[in-house]
Amino acid sequence: TLGFGMTTPATVAGKVFLIVYGLFGCAGTILFFNLFLERIISLLAFIMKACHERQLRRSGLLPPSFRRGPAMSGVGSLVGWKPSVYHVMLILGIFAITLSCCASAMYTAVEGWNYVDSLYYCFVTFSTIGFGDLVSSQNAAYQNQGLYRFGNFIFILMGVCCIYSLFNVISIVIKQVLNWVLKKFECRCCPKCHKSSTRLGRRNAITPGARLRRHNISMDADGQYDSDTEGRRLSGEMISMRELTASNKVSLAILQKQLSETANGYPRNVCINTRQNGFSAGVGALAIMNNRLAETSDSR
């Protein structure tokens, strides 16, 4: 997926072969990137969990003789623990910068580029942009040519995998920031919606018969609702299916999740303080990140 363009097919048969081979080649490459992402996130989660366990032991929340194993299920502070997405993004960012600096030092010494151009080449290559204005290994001969090309292959492979993982983590952070911004501006542009939401007072409060009460229910002498019955269904009222589903979306989602876990035959272990981060229905890399990382939005 780099596409430098220094080597291209010239015949019709070569172009057709490239199309067929590219379908399987690109699909296999994406699969490899996803597997690398899953392994690197699992490794980081294991290391960060060990550090978290050591911190708990130092603070006295864990006994000194505590060992990983079946006994871990009895420790509430470690059940379902997941690393923060911001910590993983920081670690991947540091690793990507370190890898780019080391690769740039090699390209500066071997290719004769200046260090800034080498950094530019590393980002364009590792992010699979592939402009092609700077391409390595294009000279006729190099000193220790075999060793240099092997190092070039390792740097490009590790750099692309690392940047791919970093991009997926950054996408989750961007999604959380956008959700936070949208939540701040929710219903501010519509006074009618803002007024109806403030009248409910509670999350998921059921207010059936709202249209009927708007026209038919009379107010008391002071023109105020009773505090115990406001926003609740009276004994003689009927509730429509549309109003029920509209006011119980979260309850229906929880019910659907429980039914899915029952059908799959295993419950999903989630920490008490962990909530959904908007990626529970993701696929590919997003599903991997959601299963490995903790919820870190502002509502946590």
Q: Which domains does the chain have, with CATH numbers?
A: 12-59+84-187 (1.10.287.70)
Q: Is the pTM of this model over 0.85?
A: no
For residue 300, give the 3-state DSSP assignment: coil
pLDDT at 54: 85
Q: Are 96 and 166 in contact (CB under 8 A)?
A: yes
Q: Cα dihedral angle (219, 221, 226, 231), rounded to 10 degrees?
A: 10
Residue 16: partners with Cβ closer than 8 Å, 6 or more residues away: none
Helical residues (DSSP H) of 185-284, grouped into ranges: 191-200, 210-215, 241-247, 249-264
pLDDT at 191: 60
Per-residue pLDDT of the chain (300 residues; tens, 9 = 90+): 899 988 899 999 999 999 999 999 999 999 999 999 999 999 998 999 888 888 888 887 776 665 554 444 444 456 677 888 999 999 999 999 999 999 999 999 999 999 999 999 999 999 999 999 999 999 888 989 999 999 999 999 999 999 999 999 999 999 999 999 998 888 666 665 555 555 555 444 444 454 445 444 444 444 444 444 455 555 555 666 666 666 666 566 677 777 777 766 655 554 444 444 444 445 567 777 777 776 554 444
For residue 128, give the amino acid letter.
T
pLDDT at 279: 42
Rg (Cα) of the chain, in Å, rounded? Answer: 28
Round to whole Å and give the CA distance between 95 and 37: 14
Q: Are 231 and 202 in contact (CB under 8 A)?
A: yes
Tell me the DSSP string of 140-209.
S--TTHHHHHHHHHHHHHHHHHHHHHHHHHHHHHHHHHHHHHHHHTTTTS-HHHHHHHHHH-STT---TT
